[in-house]
Structure 1
Amino acid sequence: MTYKGSCHCGQVAFEVQGEIPEVTSCNCSICQRKGVLMWFVPPQAVALLTSPEHVGSYMFNKHAINHRFCAACGIHTFGEARAPNGDPVYAINVRCLEGVDLSALKVQHFNGRAL
C-alpha cells in the first residue's frame, strides 16, 4: 500500500510504501513532547515529493537520530536513524499520513528515557 503524508502546511510531502503492522510510542525527552507514533521502514520505502530545502533537521544527545521536520510549520514528519542491526531506517510519523485510523493501530511503548 502507498500512503501519502505531509506536514501541516504541505511544504514537506512524501509517500511511503508498505503495511503498518504496529507503531511505536516513545517516552524520551523529544518524542514525548512531539507525540509522534512511529512506523519504521527502510529508506527505499520513502519518497520525498517536495524540495529537500523545506526539511529541517535536529540532532541531540548522541546524534544517532536525525529528527526531520518542516522548516515552515514545524511539524515532525519523519526521522532517520539506524536499526539495532545497523541498517538505515526511517521512523515515519503516522500522524502525518492520510487515511490512517490511528485508533485501530497496535501501539508498542518504548522506554526511551532509559537510554
Structure 2
Amino acid sequence: MPYTAQCHCGNITVTFDAPVNALTSCNCSICHKLGALWGYTHPSNITVKAVAENTTSYSHGDKYIEFHHCPLCGCTTHYTPTKIGNPQRMAVNFKMVSKKLINDVKIRHFDGADTWQFIES
C-alpha cells in the first residue's frame, strides 16, 4: 500500500511505496525537536513532489543525512542521504501521513542521543 505524506500547507507531497512494518521514534537532538516518526526504505520507493517551491534542507552533526522541510509551512517531510551517507536508505516523516493509516503500525524507540541502540518497551 503506498502511503502519502503531505506538509501542512500541501506544497510538498511524498509518496512512500513500500511496506511499513514499524516506524522509528529517535531521541537524538534533532529528531526529538522535530517529533518525527521515521519510515525507512530505498530511495527508489519514494517520490517527492512540490507544488510551488521545492524543499529546503538542513544537515546536522555528522552530515550523513539532509532533513528536508517545506519552505512555506516549515514541516519536515523526509530526509535523504548526503554524498557520504547511506545511498540505500531514505526516510519519510510519517507524522505527515494520515493518523488513521498508521494507528496500528508498531513504533520502535531508538536511543540516538546516547547508546545508538533500540530501546525495548
> With structure 1 as the length reference, what TM-score do the two structures score?
0.86
* Gaps in structure 1 of 5+ consecutive residues: none
Aligned to 1:16: 16
Residue by residue, what CA displacement relative to the aligned partner does 1:29-81 show, whole Å, maximum 9, x if unpaired?
01011111001011000112225942010012111111011011110100113
> With structure 2 as the length reference, what TM-score do the two structures score?
0.82
Give me the CA root mean square deviation. Answer: 2.2
AA aligned to 2:32 is Q
Asked if structure 2 preserves the Cα contact closer than 8 Å seen for 1:20 and 1:39, the reply is: yes
Asked if structure 1 preserves the Cα contact closer than 8 Å seen for 2:3 and 2:15, the reply is: yes
Larger fraction in helix: 1
Distance 1:60 1:52 in 2: 26
Asked if structure 1 preserves the Cα contact closer than 8 Å seen for 2:78 and 2:91, the reply is: yes
1:19-30 paired onto structure 2 within 5 Å = 19-30=19-30
Q: Size of the alignment, in residue pairs?
A: 113
Aligned to 1:30, the other structure's residue is in SS state: helix
How much does 1:16 deviate?
1.3
Aligned to 2:89: 89
Aligned to 2:40, the other structure's residue is in SS state: strand
AA aligned to 1:96 is M
AA aligned to 1:88 is Q
Asked if structure 2 preserves the Cα contact closer than 8 Å seen for 1:54 and 1:70, the reply is: yes
- Percent pairwise identity: 28
Aligned to 1:48: 48
Aligned to 2:11, the other structure's residue is in SS state: coil
Distance 1:14 1:91 in 2: 10
